[in-house]
Amino acid sequence: MAGELAERKIAGVLNLVPTYRSLLIEYDPIALPISRLETLVDEIEENLTEKSPPPGRYFELPTYYGPPYDFDTQRIADHNGLTTEDVVRIFSETTLLVYMIGFLAALPYIGGLPDCLHTPRLSSPRLKLPSGVVGLGGQQVAFAPVELPSGFNYIGRCFQKIYDPGRFPPTPFAPGDRLRFVSVSQPEAQAHQGEFPKPLG
């Protein structure tokens, strides 16, 4: 629906925000009366074929899982009856899915975490974490585009730049993209510092 609406470039449609549960359509009711917008949306909905969304791209993100960024690896291991090595191995071998982009500074909302890693969020959030840290909370994965406060369990850091307001779009990711946080050494992860990730396919 969002794709169709964007493609038609309808005068008066200002902003489209697709999320897990809804599509927000921001419109100028003076340029585009709501009755006309409703008719358009109904019409698009009727003609929406069950075509599957575009397959999305695949990214491998070089990630360092050691200290000082393994803040909560032990906690995740303890919660799930695993060793810390298991946690890193399972997490780094899992292909995750970008569901949407939101919050501030193009934060990707990532899912696809195996059940054996699901871990409740911290009871008290950390006030400041560096950009690029990777963690998990419940069944979601966090990948911080900028310095953030967060209650997720953090296990590593990728030094690539995933938010650049000087670019358009400012994020390398889009809903439907697949990601893998590949485990590498600290020097190798840091060698990619500041790079804007490129899809492999």
Query: Interface mask (CB under 8 A) for other proteins, residues 119-148, using x and -?
Result: --------------------------xx--
CB of residue 47 vs other proteins: minimum separation in angstroms? 22
- Quote the DSSP letter at residue 196: P
Cβ neighbours around 89 below 10 Å, total: 14
**Nearest distance, CB of residue 180 and other proteins, angstroms:** 21
Residue 42 interacting with other proteins (CB under 8 A): no
Residue pair 63/184 in contact by the 8 Å Cβ criterion: yes
Q: Are 115 and 81 in contact (CB under 8 A)?
A: no
HSE, CB side, 13 Å, CA atoms: give it for residue 57: 11
Q: Round to whole Å and give the CA distance between 54 and 32.
A: 29
Task: Pick the closer one to other proteins by CB: 191 or 196.
Answer: 196
**Stretch near other proteins under the rule CB under 8 A, chosen from 74-82, 85-93, 118-126, 164-172:** 164-172
- Distance CA(63)–CA(53), nearest Å, equals 28
Applying CB under 8 A, which of residues 56, 66, 102, 125 lies at the interface with other proteins?
A: 102
The yes or no reply on residue 19 touching other proteins (CB under 8 A) is yes
196 touching other proteins, by CB under 8 A: no
Alpha carbons 199 and 173: distance in angstroms, whole number: 9
Residues of this chain that interact with other proteins (CB under 8 A) are 2, 14-22, 24, 26, 29-30, 34, 100-107, 109, 145-146, 163, 165-166, 168-171
